[in-house]
Chain A
Amino acid sequence: GAVVSQHPSRVICKSGTSVKIECRSLDFQATTMFWYRQFPKKSLMLMATSNEGSKATYEQGVEKDKFLINHASLTLSTLTVTSAHPEDSSFYICSASLKTDTQYFGPGTRLTVL
Protein backbone atom coordinates (compact mmCIF):
# COMPACT_ATOMS: atom_id res chain seq x y z
CA GLY A 1 0.00 0.00 0.00
CA ALA A 2 0.80 3.73 0.01
CA VAL A 3 2.02 3.94 -3.58
CA VAL A 4 2.59 7.30 -5.22
CA SER A 5 3.26 7.66 -8.93
CA GLN A 6 4.73 10.55 -10.84
CA HIS A 7 4.60 11.29 -14.53
CA PRO A 8 6.66 11.87 -16.55
CA SER A 9 9.80 10.40 -15.04
CA ARG A 10 11.98 12.43 -17.35
CA VAL A 11 11.29 15.46 -19.52
CA ILE A 12 13.42 17.65 -21.75
CA CYS A 13 12.00 20.93 -22.96
CA LYS A 14 13.06 24.14 -24.64
CA SER A 15 13.52 27.34 -22.71
CA GLY A 16 10.29 29.33 -22.51
CA THR A 17 7.92 26.38 -22.64
CA SER A 18 5.76 25.07 -19.80
CA VAL A 19 5.96 21.61 -18.33
CA LYS A 20 3.34 19.79 -16.27
CA ILE A 21 4.22 17.06 -13.78
CA GLU A 22 1.52 14.81 -12.35
CA CYS A 23 1.54 13.19 -8.93
CA ARG A 24 -0.99 10.50 -8.08
CA SER A 25 -1.69 8.51 -4.95
CA LEU A 26 -2.66 5.11 -6.33
CA ASP A 27 -4.13 3.25 -3.40
CA PHE A 28 -5.13 5.91 -0.91
CA GLN A 29 -6.75 9.31 -0.84
CA ALA A 30 -4.22 12.01 -0.04
CA THR A 31 -5.49 15.01 1.87
CA THR A 32 -2.13 16.69 1.52
CA MET A 33 0.48 16.57 -1.21
CA PHE A 34 3.94 18.07 -1.11
CA TRP A 35 6.30 19.15 -3.86
CA TYR A 36 10.06 19.08 -3.41
CA ARG A 37 13.06 19.99 -5.46
CA GLN A 38 16.34 18.17 -5.09
CA PHE A 39 19.69 19.36 -6.37
CA PRO A 40 22.47 16.82 -7.02
CA LYS A 41 23.84 15.26 -3.85
CA LYS A 42 21.64 17.49 -1.71
CA SER A 43 18.66 16.99 0.54
CA LEU A 44 15.08 17.67 -0.47
CA MET A 45 13.89 21.25 -0.49
CA LEU A 46 10.19 21.75 0.13
CA MET A 47 8.60 23.97 -2.49
CA ALA A 48 4.93 23.90 -1.56
CA THR A 49 2.18 22.07 0.23
CA SER A 50 -1.22 21.53 -1.32
CA ASN A 51 -4.50 20.42 0.13
CA GLU A 52 -7.30 19.11 -2.01
CA GLY A 53 -9.61 21.89 -3.12
CA SER A 54 -7.60 24.76 -1.71
CA LYS A 55 -4.72 26.94 -2.79
CA ALA A 56 -1.21 25.68 -2.29
CA THR A 57 1.03 27.09 0.40
CA TYR A 58 4.41 28.04 -1.01
CA GLU A 59 7.67 28.13 0.88
CA GLN A 60 9.57 31.37 1.11
CA GLY A 61 11.50 32.11 -2.04
CA VAL A 62 9.39 29.88 -4.30
CA GLU A 63 7.60 31.83 -7.01
CA LYS A 64 3.95 30.84 -7.08
CA ASP A 65 3.46 32.22 -10.59
CA LYS A 66 6.42 30.19 -11.79
CA PHE A 67 5.47 26.93 -10.13
CA LEU A 68 1.73 26.44 -10.43
CA ILE A 69 0.25 23.75 -8.24
CA ASN A 70 -3.21 22.31 -8.59
CA HIS A 71 -4.64 19.70 -6.24
CA ALA A 72 -7.80 18.86 -8.13
CA SER A 73 -8.76 15.66 -6.34
CA LEU A 74 -7.76 13.50 -3.41
CA THR A 75 -5.54 11.44 -5.69
CA LEU A 76 -4.02 13.98 -8.06
CA SER A 77 -1.81 17.02 -7.76
CA THR A 78 -0.01 18.72 -10.61
CA LEU A 79 3.02 20.99 -10.73
CA THR A 80 3.38 23.19 -13.79
CA VAL A 81 6.70 24.90 -14.38
CA THR A 82 5.79 27.92 -16.49
CA SER A 83 8.16 29.55 -18.96
CA ALA A 84 10.90 27.17 -17.94
CA HIS A 85 14.53 28.27 -18.02
CA PRO A 86 17.74 26.27 -17.68
CA GLU A 87 18.01 27.19 -13.99
CA ASP A 88 14.73 25.32 -13.44
CA SER A 89 16.45 22.08 -14.45
CA SER A 90 16.29 19.82 -11.43
CA PHE A 91 14.81 16.69 -9.90
CA TYR A 92 11.26 17.25 -8.68
CA ILE A 93 9.67 14.88 -6.18
CA CYS A 94 6.13 14.77 -4.86
CA SER A 95 4.81 13.09 -1.75
CA ALA A 96 1.39 12.41 -0.33
CA SER A 97 -0.07 11.87 3.10
CA LEU A 98 -3.47 11.01 4.50
CA LYS A 99 -4.21 13.04 7.62
CA THR A 100 -1.08 11.62 9.17
CA ASP A 101 2.50 12.45 9.88
CA THR A 102 3.84 10.03 7.26
CA GLN A 103 4.64 11.07 3.70
CA TYR A 104 4.96 8.60 0.84
CA PHE A 105 7.06 9.69 -2.07
CA GLY A 106 6.75 9.44 -5.82
CA PRO A 107 9.69 8.28 -7.94
CA GLY A 108 10.57 11.79 -9.05
CA THR A 109 10.78 13.68 -12.34
CA ARG A 110 14.01 14.83 -13.90
CA LEU A 111 13.47 18.10 -15.75
CA THR A 112 16.05 19.36 -18.21
CA VAL A 113 15.50 22.75 -19.80
CA LEU A 114 17.62 23.44 -22.86
Chain B
Amino acid sequence: AQTVTQSQPEMSVQEAETVTLSCTYDTSENNYYLFWYKQPPSRQMILVIRQEAYKQQNATENRFSVNFQKAAKSFSLKISDSQLGDTAMYFCAFVPGSQGNLIFGKGTKLSVKP
Protein backbone atom coordinates (compact mmCIF):
# COMPACT_ATOMS: atom_id res chain seq x y z
CA ALA B 1 0.00 0.00 0.00
CA GLN B 2 1.13 3.53 -0.75
CA THR B 3 0.81 5.70 2.31
CA VAL B 4 2.00 8.95 3.83
CA THR B 5 2.45 9.35 7.57
CA GLN B 6 2.69 12.65 9.39
CA SER B 7 3.30 11.75 12.99
CA GLN B 8 2.85 15.25 14.43
CA PRO B 9 -0.85 16.26 14.46
CA GLU B 10 -0.01 19.67 15.93
CA MET B 11 3.08 21.78 16.43
CA SER B 12 3.84 25.28 17.55
CA VAL B 13 6.83 27.55 17.08
CA GLN B 14 7.79 31.04 18.13
CA GLU B 15 7.99 33.71 15.49
CA ALA B 16 11.46 33.88 13.89
CA GLU B 17 12.36 30.40 15.10
CA THR B 18 12.92 27.29 12.99
CA VAL B 19 10.59 24.30 12.93
CA THR B 20 10.73 20.91 11.21
CA LEU B 21 7.67 18.93 10.21
CA SER B 22 8.17 15.22 9.69
CA CYS B 23 6.80 12.99 6.95
CA THR B 24 7.43 9.39 6.00
CA TYR B 25 5.95 7.53 3.09
CA ASP B 26 5.75 4.07 1.70
CA THR B 27 5.89 3.09 -1.96
CA SER B 28 7.40 0.42 -4.13
CA GLU B 29 7.87 2.86 -7.00
CA ASN B 30 11.38 3.98 -7.83
CA ASN B 31 10.29 7.18 -9.53
CA TYR B 32 7.92 9.53 -7.74
CA TYR B 33 7.42 13.13 -6.71
CA LEU B 34 7.03 14.53 -3.22
CA PHE B 35 5.23 17.67 -2.13
CA TRP B 36 4.42 19.83 0.80
CA TYR B 37 1.19 21.79 0.58
CA LYS B 38 0.06 24.47 3.00
CA GLN B 39 -3.61 25.11 3.84
CA PRO B 40 -4.09 28.33 5.83
CA PRO B 41 -7.40 29.22 7.50
CA SER B 42 -8.70 30.43 4.12
CA ARG B 43 -8.53 26.73 3.10
CA GLN B 44 -6.73 27.49 -0.16
CA MET B 45 -4.21 24.71 -0.81
CA ILE B 46 -0.86 26.26 -1.67
CA LEU B 47 2.12 24.38 -3.07
CA VAL B 48 5.08 25.00 -0.79
CA ILE B 49 7.78 22.79 -2.25
CA ARG B 50 8.28 19.93 -4.69
CA GLN B 51 10.98 17.25 -4.77
CA GLU B 52 11.79 14.79 -7.52
CA ALA B 53 12.76 11.43 -6.05
CA TYR B 54 15.54 10.83 -8.56
CA LYS B 55 17.27 14.06 -7.53
CA GLN B 56 19.54 13.77 -4.52
CA GLN B 57 19.72 17.49 -3.94
CA ASN B 58 17.21 18.75 -1.41
CA ALA B 59 14.69 21.26 -2.76
CA THR B 60 14.57 24.75 -1.27
CA GLU B 61 12.14 27.64 -1.69
CA ASN B 62 13.20 30.73 0.22
CA ARG B 63 12.60 29.93 3.92
CA PHE B 64 11.34 26.44 3.16
CA SER B 65 13.62 23.48 2.63
CA VAL B 66 13.31 19.73 2.75
CA ASN B 67 15.45 16.92 4.06
CA PHE B 68 14.84 14.09 1.62
CA GLN B 69 16.17 10.71 2.70
CA LYS B 70 15.16 8.29 -0.04
CA ALA B 71 16.43 5.12 1.61
CA ALA B 72 14.57 5.95 4.79
CA LYS B 73 11.54 7.18 2.82
CA SER B 74 11.57 10.37 4.81
CA PHE B 75 10.68 13.85 3.58
CA SER B 76 10.72 16.48 6.32
CA LEU B 77 10.00 20.18 5.85
CA LYS B 78 12.07 22.84 7.58
CA ILE B 79 10.66 26.33 7.95
CA SER B 80 13.25 28.94 8.89
CA ASP B 81 12.52 32.35 10.39
CA SER B 82 8.90 31.38 11.01
CA GLN B 83 6.33 34.07 10.34
CA LEU B 84 2.79 34.50 11.61
CA GLY B 85 1.55 33.89 8.08
CA ASP B 86 3.04 30.40 8.19
CA THR B 87 0.25 29.35 10.54
CA ALA B 88 -1.59 26.64 8.61
CA MET B 89 -2.20 22.95 8.10
CA TYR B 90 0.71 21.38 6.27
CA PHE B 91 0.12 18.30 4.16
CA CYS B 92 2.85 16.02 2.90
CA ALA B 93 1.94 14.21 -0.31
CA PHE B 94 3.43 12.22 -3.14
CA VAL B 95 2.61 11.10 -6.65
CA PRO B 96 3.81 7.60 -7.52
CA GLY B 97 5.24 7.57 -11.02
CA SER B 98 5.28 10.66 -13.22
CA GLN B 99 1.56 11.34 -13.27
CA GLY B 100 -1.30 10.27 -11.13
CA ASN B 101 -3.18 10.80 -7.96
CA LEU B 102 -1.74 12.64 -5.00
CA ILE B 103 -1.52 10.56 -1.85
CA PHE B 104 -1.87 12.80 1.19
CA GLY B 105 -0.86 12.52 4.79
CA LYS B 106 -3.28 13.54 7.51
CA GLY B 107 -1.62 16.88 8.01
CA THR B 108 0.20 18.78 10.72
CA LYS B 109 -1.37 21.88 12.20
CA LEU B 110 1.35 24.47 12.71
CA SER B 111 0.80 27.50 14.90
CA VAL B 112 3.32 30.34 14.85
CA LYS B 113 3.18 32.33 18.06
CA PRO B 114 4.20 35.98 18.37
Q: Which residues of A contact B (CB under 8 A)?
A: 32, 34, 38, 42-44, 46, 49, 91, 93, 95, 97, 99-105, 107-108
Q: Which B residues fall within an 8 A CB radius of A? A: 33, 35, 37, 42-47, 50, 91, 95, 98-102, 104-107
B76 CB → nearest A CB, Å: 18
Residues of B within 8 A of A104 (CB): 47
28 example contacts (A-B, Cβ-Cβ < 8 A) are as follows A34-B102, A38-B43, A42-B106, A43-B104, A43-B107, A44-B91, A46-B101, A95-B45, A95-B102, A97-B99, A100-B99, A101-B33, A101-B50, A101-B95, A101-B99, A101-B100, A102-B33, A102-B35, A102-B47, A104-B47, A105-B37, A105-B44, A105-B45, A105-B46, A105-B47, A107-B43, A107-B44, A108-B44
For B91, list chain A residues within 8 Å (CB).
43-44
A7 to B26, CA, bound (A): 35
B22 vs chain A, min Cβ distance (A): 16
A100-B95 Cα distance, complex, nearest whole Å? 10
Say how far A42's CB is from chain B's closest CB, in angstroms. Answer: 7
Q: How far is the CB of B38 from chain A (nearest CB, A)?
A: 11
Give B55 Cβ to nearest chain A Cβ, in Å: 13
Measured between beta carbons, the chain A residues less than 8 angstroms from B107 are: 43
Partner of A93, one of B35, B45, B95, B100: B45
- B44 near A49 with CB under 8 A, answer no
- State in angstroms the CA–CA spacing of A55 and B35 once bound together: 28
Q: Are A43 and B106 in contact (CB under 8 A)?
A: yes
> Judging by beta carbons under 8 Å apart, are B101 and A91 in contact?
no
CB distance from B1 to the nearest CB of A (A): 14
Residue of B nearest to A44 (CB): B104
User: What is the CA–CA distance of A2 and B43 in the complex, to the nearest angstrom?
Assistant: 17
Are B99 and A107 touching (Cβ within 8 A)?
Answer: no
Would you call A99 and B43 a contact (CB within 8 A)? no
